[in-house]
Amino acid sequence: MAHPSQLGFQDAASPVMEELLHFHDHALMIVFLISTLVLYIIVAMVSTKLTNKYILDSQEIEIVWTILPAVILILIALPSLRILYLMDEINDPHLTVKAIGHQWYWSYEYSDYRDLSFDSYMIPTQDLTPGQFRLLETDHRMVVPMEAPIRVMVTAEDVLHSWAVPALGVKMDAVPGRLNQTAFITARPGVFYGQCSEICGANHSFMPIVVEAVPLQHFENWSILMLEDA
């Protein structure tokens, strides 16, 4: 959960998000080193009064400033590609949930159950109870078992939407007439918040996403109660 004045990312709640955080720190250190070197060169060039004729024309330094950026790009690209392929891996999911975007709410269908589906609306501000978050709480949460591969099929009924939960490292566009898929594994129990990340109309800001990860036994009890209510 993000908090006011937070500068970094939310705490990772999935293995993929942990990898993304590590890659972010890796790339940021490279940017920091490049910025420091460039700043030093600028200050040195502006402040010095000496001129070295070998600096004005040198094959060696041209080789260095051609090869060095290429090496740096490789150091950034290889881990980036690795994470990109990891995010697309969907192997033997234990549960499949279909998320359908509407103007302006989400619907969830648990494909492994016969009649387990519901709509998820934002709770209005005046109906919030103490401890609930404004513009983020929903009347029905997407409940999933923790430490299990979850596949999410994402689509939309009307306009473009985007199903995104930052703590899980998940963001997938919901396109009418197209079925996209993504996957995640929650590393710990908890409640993780997200919002539609594609401008979809007047109430775009009012269609939050709430994913609740619980132990398997609690998930089974919840699914039985939902099926009985249906």
| 67 in any annotated domain | yes
Instruction: Identify any residues that bridge with 203 across adjacent strands, giving them in sequence order.
Output: none
pLDDT less than 70: residues of the chain: 52-57, 230
Do residue 126 and residue 32 come from a single domain?
no
Q: For position 48, what pLDDT does the model report?
A: 81
**Would you state the pLDDT for residue 44?**
87
CATH number of domain containing 120: 2.60.40.420
Residues 130 and 216 grouped into a single domain? yes
Residue 113 — φ and ψ, nearest 5°? -115, 155
Helices 15-47, 59-88: inter-axial angle, 10-degree rounding: 160
Residue 53's domain comprises 15-88
Q: According to the model, what pLDDT value does residue 17 have?
A: 94
CATH number at residue 84: 1.10.287.90
Distance (Å, whole) CA 63 – CA 155:
50
Among 73, 88, 103, residue at a domain's last position: 88
Give the residues across from 192 on adjacent strands: 211
Asked whether residue 2 is domain-assigned, the answer is no
- From 43, 61, 88, the end of a domain falls on 88
pLDDT of residue 55: 64
Q: Which residues, other chains included, contact 223 with Cβ-Cβ below 8 Å and sequence gap of 6+?
A: 110, 113, 116, 143
- Report the domain count for the chain: 2
* 137 and 201 together in one domain: yes
